[in-house]
Amino acid sequence: MTSTAALLVVFMAAPESGAEWARALEAVLRQAVDPKVTVALRAGREGGDSALLAEAEEWVAKGEAVAVVEVRGPDRSAVVLRLQTPTEPGWQVRSLSFKPEDPERERGRAAGFTLAAMLPSGYAAPKPAAAGPEESRLAPLRPVVAVAARSEPSRWSAAAAVQGTLAVGSPGNRVGVSVSARWTAQEPVDFQAVGALGVGALPLTGAEEARLSELFIGVGAALVPWRSAPGRPMGLAFSLDLGAQALTVTREEPAETLARWLPALRVRAEGSVRVWKGLELAAGIGATAALEDTRVMVAGQAAAWMSRVSPFLELGAHWRF
């Protein structure tokens, strides 16, 4: 009498897949595959998708069956399953999609049943081994499942922060807020739209004091060498924006509002720490540089002068959705 055995190894590449999702997948595989198949969970090789696929190809080269399960989307709403066996060259591919309200357990069960159905029935092809005195022994065949449980981050994010601006060498310090929206084009580059508003006081010639407001609107790009991810909560980004800076000075006596639009550049460095899923707390430092004269003219005379370069500090939050 002959006997065969098989081992189903599940590689979990990232914890964001969710413990309940993973447990449901494992439970279904244990029940749905051939009774001779043993299911075991392991950690995949670090280094992202390329390293994981390279590891899968190593098992294929050994004559083993290999499956890769990839979880996509910030809410894990899509799953792609790939299977390759020595008897059927090339990858079989199946896709699953879920609604946001679908429970994690049911998502894992659906992926497990689909993967089990993709395995050939009775798959446990014998490998020759040394024969015993009364019967032959067959080397075990070990189908391997590599699960890339990776939650692909959204390309869109938004940020809001409190901002303090220092007018170096001149009056006109300001406090305000800034907002931005980013789109990840190609790692590690983001494109962004930025807006910032600050208010303060500005002494004019003759001891008169006026209200000052500054509005910056621009677009630019950000270099993100470190982006927060599971297992790496810290992030770092550097950005450069080109836009327009509106300086508005309001006098009370006589009532008068003076406004000017100036071309401006904005540079910024930011550090962040991930606190919950897509939410990050961030602190930044940068400067806005006006590209034209920033003197405030009243009746043809210079009533005040503002520094062209205004450093600022920010404290706020990011949300990747």
State the pTM of this model.
Answer: 0.54
Q: How far is CA 264 from CA 168, 241, 244, in A?
A: 16, 8, 5
Q: Helix axis angle, 104-118 relative to 19-32, nearest 10°?
A: 30
Question: What count of residues does the chain have?
Answer: 321
Which one is predicted more confidently, 144 or 53? 53
In the predicted model, what is the mean pLDDT of residues 245-249? 85
* pLDDT winner (highest mean) among 98-107, 154-163, 165-174: 154-163
Domains of the chain, each with CATH number or no CATH = 6-148 (3.40.50), 156-320 (2.40.160.20)
* CA–CA gap between residue 78 and residue 130 (Å, rounded): 46
CB 195 within 8 A of CB 175: no
Beta strands in the chain (DSSP E): 6-12, 37-43, 66-72, 78-85, 88-97, 127-128, 138-139, 144-148, 156-165, 174-186, 189-203, 209-226, 234-251, 256-276, 279-290, 295-298, 301-305, 309-320
Q: Helix (H, G, I), strand (E, B), or coil: what is residue 303?
A: strand
* CA–CA gap between residue 24 and residue 93 (Å, rounded): 21
CA angle 293, 308, 180 (to 5 degrees): 115
Token code pair at residue 216:
């910056």
* pLDDT winner (highest mean) among 59-63, 195-199, 227-231: 195-199
In the structure, what pLDDT confidence band is assigned to residue 136 with cuts at 50, 70 and 90? very low
List pLDDT tens digits, range 21-36. Answer: 778 878 887 787 777 7
Cα dihedral sign for 260, 264, 269, 273?
positive
CB 220 within 8 A of CB 192: yes
What pLDDT, on a 0 to 100 scale, did the predictor assign at position 295? 75
Judged by average pLDDT, the poorest of 25-29, 41-45, 59-63 is 41-45
What pLDDT, on a 0 to 100 scale, did the predictor assign at position 51? 65
CB 178 within 8 A of CB 163: yes
Tokens 């720490």 sit on residue: 273
CB 317 within 8 A of CB 225: no
